[in-house]
Amino acid sequence: MLFRNAGEFDFSEPPDYGRIKGIERVLDVMSDIEPHNSFITDYYKKRIHFMSLGASRLCGYSKEELSKYGQEFFKLIIPEEDLAKMRIISDVGLERFYTIPVEDRMKCSMSYDFVLQRKDGRRVCLNRRIRPFYNTEEGKLWLSISCVNYSFNDKIGDIIFNELFRNKRYQYSFEKNQWKELPPVDLTENEKVTAIELYRGSIDKQIANMLYVSKDTISYYKKQLMVKTNKPTIKGALDYLFYNCII
């Protein structure tokens, strides 16, 4: 997050950081037991508050370097040609967050793809899933927690805002400079099981035996997953379902 307009949402008083004591240790432990690359963003101090060991390994920079560079850290890890779009994502995400009723602001999330420039110079495309972690009593965003992992895409974009409290999703278009509501992805129980098992690496025959259906039926479920997510490949459909918390 690049905080360009975050100052519009000034805090009436400093938040209580004692409330999050110990969370850093939890995120570091999770990094060691599964591919969990996470960081906490602080909108009061306008910087990354904490980066897990997993996220540090992913970008190639140490926590000490993060502390040294502060907000300038973003200029190290984001290609220069993508900085303007990253600012737009930051702005439209915060603006949409503040349109949500105060009581529902903890029940929304956003995800998008971005290109990461590692310390060794290598570029990789990642998906960031971000959700409010702590708000102030007034409903202002204080801390968010993000999980990042590799994306199947190769460029910045695919910006999705989820209103989890009413099961609605919106996609942002750079070209039109607006949000568009996405149709709901309503999966049957068998389609959902098929998607989960495919994402886990199960093969069609295994899933067919599990659901007591034929392999042809599993092929039909896979086609339905692509149709309902509007993705041309099953890999793209599964990625969409996973990163939008549908499976």
Q: Tens digit of pLDDT for each residue in 54-79? A: 899 899 998 888 878 877 888 889 99
Predicted confidence band of residue 6 (pLDDT cuts 50, 70, 90)? very low
Cα dihedral 13, 18, 23, 28 sign: positive
User: Could you give the domains of the chain?
Assistant: 6-181 (3.30.450.20), 189-243 (1.10.10.10)
Mean pLDDT of 150-178: 90
- Tell me what the pLDDT averaged over the chain comes to: 88
DSSP assignment of 215-238: HHHHHHHHHHHHHHHT-SSHHHHH
CB proximity list for 182: less than 8 A, separation 6 or greater: 160, 169, 170, 171
Nearest-5° angle of CA 47, CA 101, CA 229? 80
Is residue 101 predicted with pLDDT exceeding 80?
yes
Q: Which two tokens stand for residue 210?
A: 């599990």
Spatial contact of 36 and 147, defined as CB atoms under 8 Å apart: yes
Q: Tens digit of pLDDT for each residue in 110-144? A: 999 999 999 999 999 999 999 999 988 888 899 99
Q: Which of 15-24, 59-68, 93-102, 161-170 has the highest mean pLDDT?
A: 93-102
Is residue 244 predicted with pLDDT exceeding 80?
no
Mean pLDDT of 87-95: 93
Predicted confidence at residue 161, as pLDDT, reads 94
Task: Single out the residue of 216, 31, 6 nearest to residue 90, CA to CA.
Answer: 6
Is residue 5 predicted with pLDDT exceeding 80?
no
Number of neighbouring beta carbons within 10 Å of residue 159: 21
SS3 116: strand
Q: Which two tokens stand for residue 182?
A: 């996405």
